[in-house]
Amino acid sequence: MDEKYLTPRQIVEELDKYIIGQKEAKRNVAIALRNRWRRMSTRAEIQAEIVPNNILMIGATGVGKTEIARRLAKLADAPFVKVEASKFTEVGYVGRDVESMVRDLVEQSVNMVKARKKEEVKEKAAQAVEDVILDALIPPLRQQSSTRSTGFSQTENQSEVPTSDVELNERTRNHFREKIRNGEMEDRKIDINIKGGGGSNVGMVGAGMMDEVSMMNLQEMLNGMMPKKSKKRKVTVAEARRILLDEEAAKLIDMDEVKEEAIHRAENAGIIFIDEIDKIASGSRKGGSGPDVSREGVQRDLLPIVEGSTVNTKHGVIKTDHVLFIAAGAFHISKPSDLIPELQGRFPIRVELSNLTKDDFIQILKAPKNALTKQYQALFEAENVEISFADDAIDEIANTAFTINADVENIGARRLHTVMSKLLNEFLFDVPDKIGPNARIIITADMVREKMADLIKNKDLSEYIL
């Protein structure tokens, strides 16, 4: 779906199909998404001045923070990258290069544009692939003229191919072309040439002394210098079609145009989701040393990216001024105010996500398009076994998950995965050996209570089990 056709209300309705509750968060991301299109539709002189309202989502694990951002990106068909802020502190003060998230966004954008362009030339590429397969099965005969362009007559070795042979060859090729189109030759083996990547396996000796961009540029330069090799493989027609389709489509695409469009999309529609931002919040604002210095260092590295800066990537230069940043964190130990003031100011929209209730769990099990019950029904369906959940069973599953969350540790909707796995693993193990095809399983509340008895009984011990 194209974002310009969706109003904020319609965006929320789409998100409701996958995410239960969290109305405030959905409303805010819907406005942010619609604002992308509104900005692009404004007068040129004001367009560059309108900056995105970045969002900070605050809420416990498993309440839907990541899912909201991921579904939003899918809805807008926008380049989307999820990073964990803690990754940048893992090896001390240096950590992973913060700019790598922007490079990942551009890479994602290039892949999206390339996939769309390949789809556009798919028909033309399929025709080219058909010709290659046909040439491998029945090589064409070309009728040569009696004299060369130089004026010299042909020698004995360059004797003219009789017209009758050329016509017979053409008829045979047309016959085989029909067979290929009808899928009659799929298992026939043919020899095809597959282009290799040349120097794609060149190692980076001494790369530790170089930054990421220099490494990428050097790698690309070395790859360009290495001769492109091709190797012959014997494969079935079906396999050849799959391999060659990608190769032929790539030939029909202008990569410079792809890169240009991809950078434009990343700049104006890209979404970067920074998870676990609370992990880089300093414990106190009074300075100090150790981990807090590392965390504050990462915040200061993040700041120019979020504020808007220019980042070099192997596909070109990208400006991050209009990239939408959505940050999320549980903020159990730290508070949003523990972030440095400059970074706080770059996330003006703050949304607190509420903890999930038992009723929310019931809805999560039943309503979404990707509900857990529907996922398990699909798994059993693959074995020709039908499984259904009684209403009181769903109520009991939700109650069990909610109780364990309250007594042990609140991990939100993820607890439902634990409960459903414990409940259904025995059935999944017995299919198809003990439970044959066309069987029907009905999950009842009593069955749930029986399976969950140990889990609830040992909840005090479960706190101490790693």
Question: Is 342 flagged in the annotation as binding?
Answer: yes
Instruction: Tell me which amino acid residue 41 is.
Output: S
Largest CA distance in the chain: 98
CB half-sphere exposure, 49, CA atoms < 13 A: 5
User: What is d(CA 329, CA 349) in angstroms, rounded to the nearest whole number?
Assistant: 14
Report which of 464, 368, 349 is spatially closest to residue 416, judged by C-alpha positions: 368
Question: Is 122 flagged in the annotation as binding?
Answer: no
Helix ranges restricted to H, 367-413: 372-381, 391-407
**Cα 345 to Cα 55, 56, 139, 306, 349, distances in angstroms:** 11, 11, 68, 10, 9
Query: The tokens 């998870």 sit on which residue?
Result: 275
Q: Do 399 and 60 touch, CB atoms closer than 8 A? A: no
Question: Is 414 flagged in the annotation as binding?
Answer: yes
Question: Is 265 flagged in the annotation as binding?
Answer: no
β-bridge pairing 316-319 and 440-443 = unpaired
**Helices and strands (H, E) in the chain, number of each type:** 18, 11
Question: Is 179 flagged in the annotation as binding?
Answer: no
Kindly state the DSSP code that residue 312 receives in the 8-state scheme.
E
**Cα 438 to Cα 285, 428, 441, 442, distances in angstroms:** 64, 15, 10, 13
Query: The tokens 């042990």 sit on which residue?
Result: 408
User: What is d(CA 150, CA 317) in angstroms, rounded to the nearest whole number?
Assistant: 51
User: What is d(CA 120, CA 118) in angstroms, rounded to the nearest whole number?
Assistant: 5
User: What is d(CA 377, CA 365) in angstroms, rounded to the nearest whole number?
Assistant: 12
Question: Which residues on neighbouring strands pair with residue 387, listed in sequence order?
Answer: 441
Question: Is 409 flagged in the annotation as binding?
Answer: no
User: What is d(CA 39, CA 37) in angstroms, rounded to the nearest whole number?
Assistant: 5
With 0-12 / 13-18 / 19 or more C-beta atoms within 10 angstroms meaning exposed / middle / buried, residue 232 is exposed
Question: Is 395 flagged in the annotation as binding?
Answer: no
Question: Is 121 flagged in the annotation as binding?
Answer: no
Instruction: Tell me which amino acid residue 182 is.
Output: N
Question: Is 224 flagged in the annotation as binding?
Answer: no
User: What is d(CA 115, CA 132) in angstroms, rounded to the nearest whole number?
Assistant: 22
Report which of 72, 44, 138 is spatially closest to residue 351, judged by C-alpha positions: 72
Q: What is the full DSSP assignment across 232-280?
A: EEEEEHHHHHHHHHHHHHHHTS-HHHHHHHHHHHHHHH-EEEEE-GGGG
Question: Is 65 flagged in the annotation as binding?
Answer: yes
Q: Which residues are annotated as a binding site for ATP?
A: 20, 62-67, 275, 342, 414
- Binding annotation: 20, 62-67, 275, 342, 414
